[in-house]
Amino acid sequence: MKNFLKISILATSMICSINFAQAQKPAIIEDFKPSELNQPQQEYPMVNSQGYARFKIIAPTADSVRVSLGLGGRGGTKLAKAEDGSWMGTTEGPMDEGFHYYNVRIDGGKFNDPGTLNYYGSVRWESGIEIPAKDQDFYALKNVPHGNVQQILFPSPSTNTSRRAFIYTPPGYEKGKYKYPVLYLQHGWGEDETAWMNQGRANLIMDNLIAAGKIKPFIIVNTYGMTNEVKFGKIREFKIEPFQTVLVDELIPYVDANFRTIAKKEMRAMAGLSMGGMETKTITLNKPDVFGYYGLLSGGIYASTDFKDKPQPKLIFISCGSKERPDGVKKAGEELKAAGFNAVSYVSEGTAHEFQTWRRSLYQMAPLLFR
Amino acid sequence: MKNFLKISILATSMICSINFAQAQKPAIIEDFKPSELNQPQQEYPMVNSQGYARFKIIAPTADSVRVSLGLGGRGGTKLAKAEDGSWMGTTEGPMDEGFHYYNVRIDGGKFNDPGTLNYYGSVRWESGIEIPAKDQDFYALKNVPHGNVQQILFPSPSTNTSRRAFIYTPPGYEKGKYKYPVLYLQHGWGEDETAWMNQGRANLIMDNLIAAGKIKPFIIVNTYGMTNEVKFGKIREFKIEPFQTVLVDELIPYVDANFRTIAKKEMRAMAGLSMGGMETKTITLNKPDVFGYYGLLSGGIYASTDFKDKPQPKLIFISCGSKERPDGVKKAGEELKAAGFNAVSYVSEGTAHEFQTWRRSLYQMAPLLFR
């Protein structure tokens, strides 16, 4: 009885929302295909050419199933019981292009969609879905020479453990003799050192830029920024020192000792997304002799006054999505340029505080580094 | 009403099983700690010093929650609703030492435990739990020099794509000049190229063996054996040729061209677990000029008659868990030795067709390679 009532209410609300949607939006085109981030042999979730996502979750005796993704706001997409006993639903509108984290609420618990691969965000491994973007070519896996991504375990006396980092080395690194510049590239709050290569596709972005002759090859290093040791609401209480020690006193010397790097400030960059941008700003200003190039990706801005009594960096790169606060980014870029800095601002069109903004930002920033 | 009935039945069956257990087993010691494979900040699942596992799943309005792990058989562990609305349960008895895959059935659907990291097995990313083993030291993360694990994307004309492999290079590889032997090491059915480094801890086993001076350093290569293109019940229909082409004609030449390997049969080994053992046996016998050392880990046996008109390998290593069919493995080892082969058989005590058997097998086999 309880179930019957719920289904009736759901059916009614679905009819309302369909009417509402039809009044405003074109019809959904039924060209759905499996998301490219699905686990092997999994059909769902699917995405269509308009950017709608369709989900299917098997949980025959569940009372309610809801996907955290959907059009605007916190509600997400309620799934409805289909004839075969599965739960199905389509987002109310098209999603932004690119990568999205999500999870599935089943009877009040938070789980992952068994159909998809998992990506670390929100301090948990979340489900991932990819809405094909018009510019997806720049991070596609193509038939070009590929660099490698390697996991290193570096000694960290300050935290009394071996810590993990991922290192992208450009194509030809293994058998070559060249030394390379290094970009230290940080993830955001809730994420970890896996983010940039997994959901960010930093390695493929680099492979494609190098193959196109658009950049000089460099190494990328990702490590955990210890950002998740504070709760999201208390980020202002985050203390930079422990991570700064790991990065500057432990990781950089290890990388310079074990990889063919050009171990000097003019050939070393730091950038980060979101809270990784906060870290970048603080550490680059605390340690002006370590890095020569600075990047904040949806992670705040520099003002010319930040550099009082400090050397000018070779480059300041600031970016965000057009659905964030692009005016602040543009204004900061202009202010820095007017003050004589080599500053570049970039706004990713049609994207929010998500990885498509950061993939594009890396693509824009990489050719400007180590010039 | 429905829920109430279910809970009553569950409570009754729990009392029965507790009585049954108490008659046979010592009391459960309440020294449960979070499993070392839990996601950051997650308390559950927990394990105790006897090898019991305790689970906690939050799904307040679910009708039934069951974990696929448990004592013997297919039933797994039914969880019961706790006072706080979560579902909790403890395995009926101690689990075998080492790594186990599992999943959670919630209202008829198969999900992962949000508390744990995921590992690829059964053609899906599964939950993982680690029952601390008495001999866990040999695969522990210790303060010793660490080799790196790198992801490569190698061109595969035969499958018209770039394929992924993981490569372990020993400590000191990056800045050194030595050339190394290579072990090509395959996963089992349902798994992929991530298995040996993630759940197998092959990199840590190597780091520790090298630090203890017990082996000469070598490179390990893991790639996807294409094993999951057939259903589990139809493994006999598996055709080896596509994978053999990828391995022998594409991956090995790429590794030899891009890494400092000793590119000859006497310095190249192949081994595999379970279905990866089947692949190893077939490919080593099909291509006797490619590999010098052969290993089957819970993956069948060789007989001396397999080598009619073929050169003898430098070593045949055969292993399994004592809970598998150890007599067959021992007998095959004896038969091969009697026929003049350098054969070694190994049985892992107290383990079944699981990764603890294969971690120990790698630990036993590695010192015998490339001698």
The CATH number given to whatever domain includes residue A113 is 2.60.40.10
Contact A59 B108 (CB under 8 A): yes
pLDDT interval class at B11 (50, 70, 90): very low
User: Chain A interface, mutation test: which of B106, B110, B116, most A Cβ atoms within 10 Å?
Assistant: B106
Contact B40 A228 (CB under 8 A): yes
> How many independent structural domains does chain A possess?
2
Q: How far is A38 from chain B (nearest CA, A)?
A: 10
Contact B112 A110 (CB under 8 A): no
pLDDT interval class at B15 (50, 70, 90): very low
Side-chain half-sphere of A189: how many Cα atoms within 13 Å? 15
What is the pLDDT, as a whole number, of residue A183? 98
Q: Which of A87, A103, A132 is the last residue of a domain?
A: A132
Q: Tokens 């403890």, residue? A: B90
Contact B228 A40 (CB under 8 A): yes
Strand arrangement, sheet containing A46-47? A33-34, A46-47, A53-58, A86-90, A80-81
pLDDT interval class at B350 (50, 70, 90): very high
Q: Is A167 inside any structural domain?
A: yes
C-beta of residue A356 within 8 angstroms of C-beta of residue A348: yes
What is the pLDDT, as a whole number, of residue A62? 95
Q: Is A243 inside any structural domain?
A: yes
Q: Is A207 inside any structural domain?
A: yes
User: Chain B interface, mutation test: which of A65, A111, A203, most B Cβ atoms within 10 Å?
Assistant: A111
CB nearest to B151's CB, from A109, A117, A148: A148
Enter the pTM of the model: 0.90
Residues B121 and B224 in one domain: no
In this predicted structure, the answer to whether residue B13 has a pLDDT above a threshold of 80 is: no
Enumerate the residues of chain B whose CB falls inside 8 A of the CB of residue A155: 143
Enumerate the residues of chain A whose CB falls inside 8 A of the CB of residue B110: 58, 114
pLDDT in tens, B225-252: 999 999 988 988 999 999 999 999 999 9
Gap between the Cα atoms of A337 and A345, Å rounded: 10
Q: Which of B115, B132, B149 is the last residue of a domain?
A: B132
Residue A217 sits in a domain whose CATH number is 3.40.50.1820
Gap between the Cα atoms of B358 and B249, Å rounded: 27
pLDDT interval class at B344 (50, 70, 90): very high
Q: Tokens 């990047």, residue? A: A295
Residues A311 and A214 in one domain: yes
Contact B106 A143 (CB under 8 A): no
Q: How far is A263 from chain B (nearest CA, A)?
A: 15
pLDDT interval class at B126 (50, 70, 90): very high
Gap between the Cα atoms of B18 and B22, Å rounded: 6
Query: What radius of gyration, in Å, describes the C-alpha atoms of chain A?
Result: 22
What is the pLDDT, as a whole number, of residue B175? 83
Planar angle of CA A165, A167, A172, nearest 5 degrees: 160
- DSSP-assigned letters across all residues of A124-181: EEEEEEEE--TTGGGGS--SS---EEEEEEEEETTTTEEEEEEEEE-TTTTT----B-
ipTM above 0.90, yes or no: no
Q: A–B: how many Cβ contacts below 8 A?
A: 133
pLDDT interval class at B136 (50, 70, 90): very high
CB nearest to B40's CB, from A107, A110, A123: A123
What is the pLDDT, as a whole number, of residue A116? 98
pLDDT interval class at B174 (50, 70, 90): confident
Q: Is A106 inside any structural domain?
A: yes
Side-chain half-sphere of A180: how many Cα atoms within 13 Å? 24
Planar angle of CA B211, B213, B215, nearest 5 degrees: 105
Residues A359 and A278 in one domain: yes
Contact A62 B107 (CB under 8 A): yes
Enumerate the residues of chain B whose CB falls inside 8 A of the CB of residue A61: 63-64, 107-108
Enumerate the residues of chain B whose CB falls inside 8 A of the CB of residue A193: none
What SS3 class is residue B315?
Answer: strand
Q: Is B281 inside any structural domain?
A: yes
Q: Tokens 């590794």, residue? A: B255
Residues A327 and A345 in one domain: yes
Residues A49 and A76 in one domain: yes
Q: How far is B63 from chain A (nearest CA, A)?
A: 7
Question: CA B73 → CA A287, B265, B275, distances in Å?
Answer: 59, 43, 22
Residues B226 and B346 in one domain: yes
pLDDT interval class at B75 (50, 70, 90): confident
Enumerate the residues of chain B whose CB falls inside 8 A of the CB of residue A85: 108
Q: How far is B170 from chain A (nearest CA, A)?
A: 11
Contact B109 A59 (CB under 8 A): yes
> Can you list the residues of chain A whose pLDDT is less than 50?
1-22, 72
What is the pLDDT, as a whole number, of residue B312? 95
What is the pLDDT, as a whole number, of residue B310? 95
Residues A343 and A302 in one domain: yes
What is the pLDDT, as a whole number, of residue A85? 86
What is the pLDDT, as a whole number, of residue B149? 96
CB nearest to B112's CB, from A111, A148, A228: A111
Contact B107 A61 (CB under 8 A): yes
Residues A179 and A328 in one domain: yes
What is the pLDDT, as a whole number, of residue B25? 64
Residues B118 and B200 in one domain: no
For residue B65, give its domain range: 33-132
What SS3 class is residue B320?
Answer: strand
Beta-carbon contacts of B120 under 8 Å, excluding residues fewer than 6 positions away, are B126, B191, B192, B194, B195, B198
